[in-house]
C-alpha cells in the first residue's frame, strides 16, 4: 500500500466513531475531572448573585469560559443571556441544554463561608440578593458540561447549544425577559433546535437521585394584581369614608373559597395565593387605596380560565357591595411545564445509567412553575430534577427552594454534569 493510502486509512481510523459505551465512559471520566472546578464555579456564582435581567457578572464569567473552549458565543440575548454553540465533528441534529442564571431578593441565612452579601434594586428598593433557588448550581453544571462535550466534539454527530438564560424568576415589572424573550430573539434558530433539556436542583430528593414526570410536570403560573379604590378619612371617623383595607381583607378571605369550594381538586391541583397586601401610611388614617398581589397555579387550561373569571367576579362583587371600586390585572404568566412523552421515554434510560435505576424516581406534580415551559411549546423538551439534600438530612427536614436557608449538597454537581452530557450525546446519536 502506498504511503498516501496508509495516511488516508489512518485518518479514517481516527475519525471512526467510538462505541456508545466507550463514549459514555469518557464522558464520566471527564466529568469527574471537573469536580474541583465545578465546585469553585458554583461557590463563586453563589457569592455573587444577581437579580433578573441584571446578571452581568455571571454572563461575563460564562461567556469567557465558552470562548476559551472555542465555541461560537452570542451575548446580550434577552438582555444578559449567553448562548454557546458547539459544532460536532459530523453533521446531525441540534440539542439545546439550558441553565438559568438569576438570583432572588432574599437575605441569605445559610452561614456558608461563601454566603452572599450582595444587594440589588427590586421594585424601587435596595434589597439583599441570594441564590435561594439553586441557579448557581445550574450555571456551574452547564459550564462544566460545555467543557466535557468540547473534549469529545469530534465524536458528536450534530450540534449542542448551551443556553444560559436570565430572568427565569420573572423580569422586573415593566420589562421583558426570560425564556419567552430568548425565543423571540432566536435562541431556537440558526441552527434549528430539535430538542431541549433542563434540570433543577432541590432538597426534595437526596443527593444522588433524579426525579422526572412525563407530560404535565410543573404548574402554569400567573401573577394577579388587585387595585382597590376607597375614600380616605380620619381613623376616628371610618364611617365618613370607604376603607379599602377592610375591602381588601374581605377579598383575601373570599379568594380562599375558590380552591376550597369552586374547583374540582380531584381533576387537577390548583392554588390561589395572596402574597402582598399594601395600604396606608399612618395608623390613624383610613387610606384611599389598597393593592393585593398574588399567584395562580393550575395544570388544566379550562380550570385556569374558570379561576381567572372567579377572581374577577369576587373582586368586583365584594368591592361593589362595600362601596368601593376595584380592578384586576392577570398577566399571561407561564404555561405548564410539559415533558414530551416520546423524549421523556427515551431520556429516562439515560438518567438510570447515570444515577442507577433505583435512584430515578417518578415525581409527583409540582405546583411550582418554570419558564422552561416556553421552550417546550416550540420544540420537544425534557425537564427533570436532581436531588441536592445531604443524605444525613431526613426528608421531613428538607429546606425548600426560595428559603433564606436553602443550600444544595455539592455532591450533586458532578452527577448533574454527567446527566446533561449523557443526555446530549444520547440524543445526538439516536436515529
Residue-by-residue DSSP string for 336-348: -EEE-HHHHHHHH
As a whole number of angstroms, the distance between CA 385 and CA 389 comes to: 12
Is residue 97 located within the same domain as residue 210? yes
Is residue 40 located within the same domain as residue 137? yes
Give the pLDDT confidence score for residue 5 in this predicted structure: 44
In a domain, 8, yes or no: no
Angle 143-145-349 from CA coordinates, rounded to 5°: 145
C-alpha cell at 394: 431526613
Is residue 165 located within the same domain as residue 250? no
In a domain, 2, yes or no: no
User: Of the residues 311, 330, 349, which one is the last residue of a structural domain?
Assistant: 330
For residue 246, give the CATH number of its domain: 3.30.70.360
192 catalytic per annotation: no
As a whole number of angstroms, the distance between CA 46 and CA 60 comes to: 15
User: Of the residues 310, 330, 350, which one is the last residue of a structural domain?
Assistant: 330
Is residue 350 located within the same domain as residue 320? no
Q: How do beta strands 381-389 and 195-206 pair?
A: parallel
As a whole number of angstroms, the distance between CA 381 and CA 341 comes to: 9
In a domain, 42, yes or no: yes
Is residue 180 located within the same domain as residue 113? yes
Side by side, the strands of the sheet bearing 72-77 are 72-77, 81-87, 157-165, 90-100, 195-206, 381-389, 210-212, 360-362
Give the pLDDT confidence score for residue 173 in this predicted structure: 84
As a whole number of angstroms, the distance between CA 257 and CA 381 comes to: 35
Asked whether the whole model's pTM tops 0.85, one would answer: yes
In a domain, 373, yes or no: yes
Give the domain range for residue 278: 220-330
168 catalytic per annotation: yes
> Which strand (E) or helix (H) includes residue 314?
helix 301-321
Give the pLDDT confidence score for residue 16 in this predicted structure: 63
Q: How many domains does the chain have?
A: 2
Q: How do beta strands 220-229 and 81-87 pair?
A: unpaired
Is residue 212 located within the same domain as residue 226? no
Is residue 234 located within the same domain as residue 372? no
CB atoms within 10 A of CB 371: 24
Determine if the peptide bond prior to 160 is cis (ω within 30°): no
As a whole number of angstroms, the distance between CA 221 and CA 130 comes to: 22
For residue 47, give the CATH number of its domain: 3.40.630.10
CB–CB of 278/290 below 8 Å? yes
In a domain, 202, yes or no: yes
For 17, counting Cβ atoms within 10 Å of its Cβ (0-12 exposed, 13-18 middle, 19+ buried), the class is middle
In a domain, 12, yes or no: no
In a domain, 57, yes or no: yes
Is residue 238 located within the same domain as residue 309? yes
In a domain, 208, yes or no: yes
C-alpha cell at 340: 414530551
Is residue 199 located within the same domain as residue 225? no
CB–CB of 362/205 below 8 Å? no
DSSP string over 204-264: EEETT-EEE-SEEEE-EEEEEEEEEE-B-EETT-GGGSB-HHHHHHHHHHHHHHIIIIIS-
As a whole number of angstroms, the distance between CA 222 and CA 228 comes to: 20
Distances (CA, A) of 217 to 55, 138, 214, 359: 27, 19, 7, 18
Is residue 283 located within the same domain as residue 371? no
- pLDDT tens, per residue, the chain with 431 residues: 444 444 434 443 444 678 999 999 999 999 999 999 999 999 999 999 999 999 999 999 999 999 999 999 999 999 999 999 999 999 999 999 999 999 999 999 999 999 999 999 998 999 999 999 999 999 999 999 999 999 999 999 999 999 999 999 999 989 999 999 999 999 999 999 999 999 999 999 999 999 999 999 999 999 999 999 999 999 999 999 999 999 999 999 999 999 999 999 899 999 999 999 999 999 999 999 999 999 999 999 899 999 999 999 999 999 999 999 999 999 999 999 999 999 999 999 999 999 999 999 999 999 999 999 999 999 999 999 999 999 889 999 999 999 999 999 999 999 999 999 999 999 999 99
Is residue 252 located within the same domain as residue 112? no
User: Of the residues 330, 351, 376, which one is the last residue of a structural domain?
Assistant: 330
Catalytic hit among 168, 370, 407, 426: 168
CB–CB of 177/361 below 8 Å? no
C-alpha cell at 327: 380592578
Is residue 116 located within the same domain as residue 141? yes
As a whole number of angstroms, the distance between CA 205 and CA 184 comes to: 34
Catalytic hit among 100, 102, 136, 194: 102
Amino acid at each position: 500500500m502506498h504511503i498516501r493510502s496508509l495516511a488516508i486509512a489512518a485518518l479514517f481510523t481516527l475519525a471512526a466513531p467510538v462505541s456508545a459505551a466507550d463514549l459514555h465512559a469518557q464522558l464520566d471520566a471527564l466529568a469527574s475531572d471537573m469536580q474541583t472546578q465545578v465546585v469553585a464555579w458554583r461557590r463563586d456564582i453563589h457569592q455573587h448573585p444577581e437579580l433578573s435581567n441584571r446578571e452581568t457578572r455571571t454572563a461575563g464569567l460564562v461567556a469567557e469560559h465558552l470562548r476559551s473552549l472555542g465555541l461560537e458565543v452570542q451575548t446580550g440575548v434577552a438582555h444578559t443571556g449567553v448562548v454557546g454553540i458547539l459544532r460536532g465533528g459530523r453533521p446531525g441534529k441540534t440539542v439545546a441544554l439550558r441553565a438559568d442564571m438569576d438570583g432572588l431578593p432574599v437575605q441569605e441565612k445559610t452561614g456558608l463561608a461563601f454566603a452572599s452579601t450582595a444587594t440589588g434594586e427590586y421594585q424601587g428598593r435596595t434589597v439583599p440578593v441570594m441564590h435561594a433557588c439553586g441557579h448557581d448550581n445550574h450555571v456551574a453544571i452547564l459550564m462544566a458540561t460545555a467543557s466535557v462535550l468540547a473534549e469529545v466534539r469530534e465524536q458528536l454527530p450534530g450540534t449542542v447549544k448551551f443556553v444560559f438564560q436570565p430572568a427565569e424568576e420573572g423580569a422586573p415589572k415593566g420589562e421583558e425577559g426570560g425564556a419567552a424573550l430568548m425565543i423571540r430573539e432566536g435562541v431556537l434558530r440558526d441552527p434549528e433546535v430539535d430538542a431541549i433539556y433542563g434540570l433543577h436542583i432541590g432538597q426534595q430528593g437526596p443527593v444522588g437521585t433524579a426525579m422526572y414526570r412525563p407530560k404535565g410536570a410543573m404548574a402554569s403560573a400567573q401573577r394577579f394584581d388587585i387595585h382597590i379604590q376607597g375614600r380616605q378619612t380620619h381613623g376616628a371617623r371610618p364611617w365618613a369614608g370607604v376603607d379599602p383595607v377592610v375591602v381588601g381583607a374581605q377579598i383575601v378571605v373570599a379568594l380562599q373559597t375558590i380552591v376550597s369550594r369552586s374547583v374540582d381538586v380531584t381533576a387537577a391541583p390548583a392554588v390561589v395565593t395572596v402574597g402582598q397586601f399594601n395600604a396606608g401610611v399612618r395608623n390613624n388614617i383610613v387610606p384611599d387605596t389598597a393593592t393585593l398581589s398574588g399567584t395562580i397555579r393550575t395544570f388544566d387550561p379550562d380550570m385556569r380560565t374558570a379561576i381567572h373569571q372567579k377572581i374577577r367576579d369576587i373582586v368586583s362583587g365584594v368591592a361593589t357591595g362595600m362601596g368601593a371600586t376595584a380592578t384586576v390585572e392577570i398577566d399571561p404568566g407561564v404555561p405548564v411545564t410539559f415533558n414530551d412523552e416520546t423524549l421523556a421515554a427515551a431520556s429516562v434510560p439515560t438518567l438510570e445509567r447515570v444515577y442507577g435505576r433505583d435512584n430515578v424516581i417518578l415525581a409527583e406534580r409540582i405546583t411550582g412553575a418554570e419558564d422552561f415551559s416556553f421552550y417546550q411549546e416550540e420544540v420537544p423538551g425534557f425537564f427533570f430534577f436532581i436531588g441536592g439534600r445531604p443524605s444525613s438530612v431526613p426528608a421531613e427536614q428538607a429546606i425548600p427552594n426560595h428559603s433564606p436557608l436553602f443550600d444544595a449538597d455539592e455532591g450533586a454537581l458532578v452527577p448533574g454534569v454527567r446527566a446533561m452530557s449523557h443526555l446530549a450525546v444520547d440524543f445526538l446519536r439516536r436515529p
